[in-house]
Each structure stands twice: as structure tokens, then as C-alpha cells.
A and B are shown apart, each in its own frame.
Chain A
């Protein structure tokens, strides 16, 4: 019944909990200031209305993409042996999407009206579509996570029947995987299209932002899942992972990065031809302007090329340290891509005065409140995941056996 903590000695686990608790508390404090004072406490302006929070939003959704891709692999492509990895990914997805909703709630000017998108539909709006998909997909993730929560020892003892019912949701996993795949394919790419459909911002206005968003999300989402699994296995003996499974996923990520780099290359190259006001400047911000380090180092070299090589080259892929480094770089690269995409389009303002459009530059650096509240959201995600590892065994490839037994028991029931 009780979650026992040994207070005599400050164990690393306890120190981690306290550390993350402080970050979350600071975030809650900052979040309350946001709700109380409004968005004037941010450094956002009418010229740069989206900033750090939208980056956290986009990133947490992107790195949650492991859930839909791995669930689809397991339940639709029939790669059943990856089920324990999909389980971890689903839990990460649940956390990631709840992080996104928390951040969005701060970011919108009227959080009390967050439900309006569900009631007042504008089907032309990509943001409406994203909101609907994210809301529905969060429900799917919650259902998909039911069997995970059913593993909670306390729940098993206190309400065994409820726990049993929650476990039973697992039987609908293939259906949930189909719905999850559909919703995710829609909104993961639509998040890119949110930017891609804006004619007023020539650097964004191109059809392949949506494609780049979903491919990078699949790479980043799977990477986070595998990285988190490997890290958990290193930090605690409670976790056991089947490294060959994780190695296979990492190999697939390597090829996803090839595809991602291919699209990125043609996307960027096509923009280098002839001068287009706004678009050319946008690309220059990335290639030689203030975002050039982010772009070359964060997004391309360390975010795509280096991990691509590390994950496709067998000796480095099979080395746990190199593989973990590569996976972390992929996640970093995806986050850098989200930040750069948002900020590069907003930093350039195209004048509407008659004559040839003139480009003006704006600046943005997040305020302390934005940073603190954003860190709070990230801290919540890390805390939730580590609690999941500890108490729900979200990273536990031994759970396969239990799952297999359960399957055998239920198999006759489904065939008659």
C-alpha cells in the first residue's frame, strides 16, 4: 500500500525526485504568474507571437511519435516482438501529449476557452485539425496506457477488478493502433502545415514542411523511446531490456534519418535558386545568420548526419554508448528543427508597402517566466517517466512473457 522511501540516506533516486520536484514547483509558480498576469510576462510580441512554448509544444508532440509508429509496427505490421518497446513508447506519448496540452494552455490568451476548438469547428484551419487530433489521440493514448497503469501494484491490490478491466483494454490494441496511426499521420504532418500554408511568410510557405515534420517526428519519437529505455536499464537494476530489440529499432531510425536528410536536402536546395523576398532571407538566417549554429551543428551535422552514420554503422550501433549518444543527438536535432522553423519564419517580417517587398528583422529571447514554466513542463515529463519506470515498469522487456501468458489464456475466447 505504502510507497516506502528510505529517508536515512539521500539516494540518487530521492535526489532526482527532489530536483525534479523543485523544477516542477518553479514551473507551477511561473505558470500561475502567467495565468494571473497574462501573456505580458512573456517576451512575445505582435511580431513574434509564438516562441519558446510553441517549440516545447511541437517538440513534445514530435518526440511522442514513437507511440504511433511502434504501435503500428507491432499491431498492424505484425512485428509482435517489439511490443515491449511500443509499450514504453505509448507511455512516453501519453506524457508528451499531456506536456503539449499543458504548454498550450499557458500559450493561449484565454485558457478558459480551450474547449472552443472542440465546439466551434473551422475545418479550414490546420490548427483546428491539430487540436482535434491531439485531443482525440490523447484519449487513444490514455486507453492504450490502461494496461500499463493496471500494472501498478497498489491498484492491483486495492482494486483488483478495476485493474483487470484496465488490463483487458489491451485486447483492443490493434484497433487503437489503427486510430492512433490515422490521427498521428494527420496531426504530425499538419503541425508542419500550420506553418506551410501561410502565404504571408514566404520562408514557411512550401508544401514539404508537413512531410519534414512527420519524418523527423518518427525519427525523434523512436529515438527518445529507445534512449529512455537504454538509460533506464543503465540506471536501475529493476529494468531489464532486450538490447537486440532496441538495436533493431535504432537501425530503422538510421534509415529514417537517411530519408529525412534526403528531403531536407532537396527542400533547402530548391530555396537557394533565385531571390525570393523573405524566403531567401529565411534560409540565410539558418545558413549564415544568427541561427547558423543551430542549423549546421544542431540540425544537420549532429542532428542528422552524425547519428545517421552512428546508427547505420554496425560497430557503433551495437555499442551501447555510441548508440545512446546517437539517439540523444537525433532528439536534440528534432527539437532544434522545431525551434528554428518557428523562429526563422517569425524573425522575418515582409513589408506590405507598395513596390518590391522589403524585409525587416525582429528579435526574440524568452523571458525568465517563459523559461521557468517551460522547464516546469519538461520537468513534469521527466518526473512522470521516471515514476513510470519505477512503479509501472514501463521499460521492462520481461513483461513480454507475462503478456504471452495472458494471450494464451484469452486466445480460445476470441476464436469461438
Chain B
């Protein structure tokens, strides 16, 4: 009898020690993971000049065509953002490609993940459609496929040709900086942000040139130069999400 009691006590002890050790290991791992990674390769970023944007919405349509998005979903809406003088100001909102993305943290299956170049990617074959990322994203950048999109895409061919596979019903989708254009462009020796074929469709289509794209790790890229020369801001920077979409404000002088 006493023998069996000892065993149970030992079992409890071992369990407690084991759980504590596991938790400790996890804490150390997290601490290690949050250390800044050495600047390796590229970090893509977008700069949007609000003093130039006139709210035409071409970027919305080009995005829909190139990424084959249902008309019910918008990855990249253009929002009204007040007035400067008597001029309306707009705010186009792609995915922010956060460096500390809440969606990546919460995804239970790692369907949302970081690419080495900083793009927050979706693995549509892995997504289970729990929509936790939608709840977690502060920017409303994620859309769920409530229905299957089987109709013809009304944005095609006027605004471009689809370059990626259509997402099935039941997964969450979002902007990924037209990674397909970047990747293809790089293999062909082009420079994203400079060569249109290697640059996100919304940047290419913008008739007033309000969008800029490039590598933050390259001091000579147009985004690095712009951010150095002008004052920029990021959406909800206070939350610490580290967005890689920068905005140049419209002011009385430049609007």
C-alpha cells in the first residue's frame, strides 16, 4: 500500500518537473526567437505617397486581376482619409507585411508565415479556415472565402491576367506584395521596384505614381531614399507590429 503511494507521489513529482522544464525551454526559445535576425538578403517595403493618390482605385482592379480575387473581396482597398484644404485624401491599404505580425503568431497551423524577405505569406493548402488571423489583424487586411469563386473574374482581362491560383472556399486570403511577380522577376535578373514586371501590380498600374516599392536593406533603393528624404508614418505603429508599408502624408504644401 505504502509502496503504491510512493509511486504516485513520485509520478506527480516527475510530472511537475517535466512540465516546468518544458515551459522553461519554451520561454528560452521564445526569447531567442525574438532576437533580431541578422540582415540577410532583402526586405521588401512599399511607400505610398498620399499627396499624389487621387483615389482612382486602379490599384484595386489591377490587384483583383493579377491575383484572381473575387469581386466580393478586396485585398487592397482605397479608403477616404479626410481632407487637406479642399482636397480629399485617400489611404490605400494593402497588407502591411508586419515584421511582428499578429496573424503569424496566432495561426494554429503555420499557414501564415514569414518569408525570408519579410513577406507575410499564406499557405493556402494548409489553412484550415479558423479565422483567428482575421480576428487578430489590426488592419482588416484578411478576407475569408465565404463562398467558392467560380465565376469569371470581371477584372480580367481589362486589368491584367491572373498570375496565381484561385483560393478555394473556406480559407483566408490576403495581399502578399505580388510575391509571384517579385520571384519571377528576380529569376529573370530584374529589380523589383524598378522593372515593372518584377513589381507589385498596384505599384505598376498607379497612374499618378503614388506607390513605390523596393528593398529596405538596399540603401540605394527608391524606398530607402524616399524614407530618408521625407517624413513617413506607418499605420498603428504604436502597436509594435512593424508594418513594412510606409505612408508619406499629404500636407497643405504638397497636396
Tell yes or no: B145 within 8 A of A by CB: yes
B109 within 8 A of A: yes
Complex interface: chain A residues within 8 A of B217 (CB): none
The listed residue (A110, A120, A198, A350) touching B102 by CB distance below 8 A is A198
CB <8 Å contact, B1 and A50: no
Chain A residue at minimum C-beta to C-beta distance from B110: A122
Give the chain B neighbours of A123 by CB distance below 8 A: 26
Q: Is B143 an interface position by the 8 A CB rule?
A: yes
Tell me the complex Cα distance, A346–B137, Å: 12
The contact size tier of chain A is 35 or more
Contact B126 A116 (CB under 8 A): yes
Q: A125 to chain B: closest CB distance in Å?
A: 4
**Cβ-defined contact, A49 with B135, below 8 A:** yes
- A109 and B236 alpha carbons, distance in the complex (Å): 29
What residues on B are CB-neighbors of A266 within 8 Å?
none
- A354 and B247 form a contact (CB under 8 A): yes
Q: Report B109 CB to chain A, min CB distance, Å.
A: 4
Q: Tell me if A94 counts as interface (CB < 8 A to partner B).
A: no
| A117 and B139 form a contact (CB under 8 A) | no
Given A201-B135, A352-B139, residue A122 in contact with residue B108 (CB < 8 A) = yes
Interface positions, chain B 74-114, Cβ under 8 Å from A, are 79, 81-82, 91, 93, 102, 104-111
Using CB atoms, name the residue of chain B closest to A415: B1
Give the contacting residue for B170; candidates A46, A110, A350; CB below 8 A. Answer: A110
Among B79, B109, B147, the residue within 8 A (CB) of A353 is: B79
- Asked if residues A114 and B128 are in contact (CB atoms below 8 Å), the reply is yes
Flag if A38 contacts B147 (CB, 8 Å). Answer: yes
Q: Assuming A46-B140, A49-B144, is B81 touching A353 (CB within 8 A)?
A: yes
> Across the interface, do A175 and B11 meet the contact criterion of CB distance under 8 Å?
yes
Are A40 and B239 in contact, CB atoms less than 8 angstroms apart?
no
CB-based nearest B residue for A179: B15
User: Could you tell me the distance in whole angstroms from the C-beta of B104 to the nearest C-beta in chain A?
Assistant: 8
Q: Which residues of B contact A128 (CB under 8 A)?
A: 108-109
* Interface status of B169 (Cβ within 8 A of chain A): yes
Binary per-residue interface labels of chain B (44-88) against chain A in the complex, 1 for a CB within 8 Å, 0 otherwise: 000000000000000000000000000000000001011000000
- Pick from B127, B138, B147, B249: contact of A199, CB under 8 Å: B138
Q: Which chain A residues lie closer than 8 Å to B142 at the CB level?
A: 46
Does A174 lie at the interface of the complex (its beta carbon under 8 Å from any beta carbon of B)?
Answer: yes
Q: A127 contacts B108, CB within 8 Å? A: yes
Q: Which residues in chain A, 117-135, are within 8 Å of chain B measured between CB atoms?
A: 117, 120-128, 131
B215 at the interface (CB under 8 A from A): no
Verify if A211 is at the interface (C-beta below 8 Å from B): no
Docked-complex contact B106 and A109, CB < 8 angstroms: no
A198 touches B136 (CB 8 A): yes
A200 within 8 A of B: yes
B109 and A122 within 8 A (CB): yes
Instruction: Kindly provide the distance from the CB of A181 to the nearest chain B CB, expressed in whole angstroms.
Output: 10
**Best-buried of A127, A194, A414 by chain B (most CB within 10 Å):** A127
Q: Decide: B26 and A109 in contact? CB cutoff 8 A.
A: no
Asked if B40 is an interface residue, CB under 8 A from chain A, the answer is no
- Is the CB of B19 closer than 8 A to any CB of chain A? yes
Which of chain A's residues have a CB closer than 8 A to the CB of B169? 38, 109
Q: Which of B82, B129, B137, B169 has the most CB of A within 10 A?
A: B129
User: Given known contacts A178-B12, A353-B79, is B146 in contact with A120 (CB within 8 Å)?
Assistant: no
Q: Can you list, as one digit per residue, whether each of B123-134 has a CB less than 8 Å from chain A (1) or not (0)?
A: 000111111101
Q: Contact residues of B with A, CB < 8 Å? A: 1, 3-4, 8, 11-12, 15, 19, 26, 30, 79, 81-82, 91, 93, 102, 104-111, 126-132, 134-140, 142-148, 168-172, 233, 235-236, 239-240, 247, 249
Chain A residues engaging chain B, CB cutoff 8 angstroms: 38-40, 44, 46-47, 49-50, 76, 107-110, 113-114, 116-117, 120-128, 131, 174-175, 178, 182, 194, 197-201, 346, 349-350, 352-354, 357, 411, 414-415
Can you identify 15 A-B contacts, CB atoms within 8 angstroms? A38-B147, A44-B146, A46-B142, A109-B169, A116-B126, A116-B128, A120-B110, A121-B110, A123-B26, A125-B132, A178-B15, A197-B105, A198-B135, A198-B136, A414-B4
Query: 3 nearest interchain CB pairs?
Result: A109-B129, A109-B170, A200-B138
- If A46-B143, A76-B12 are given as contacts, then 17 extra A-B residue pairs at C-beta distance below 8 Å, sorted by A number, are A44-B146, A46-B134, A46-B144, A109-B128, A109-B169, A110-B171, A113-B109, A113-B126, A116-B126, A117-B108, A125-B106, A126-B106, A194-B132, A198-B106, A200-B137, A200-B138, A357-B236
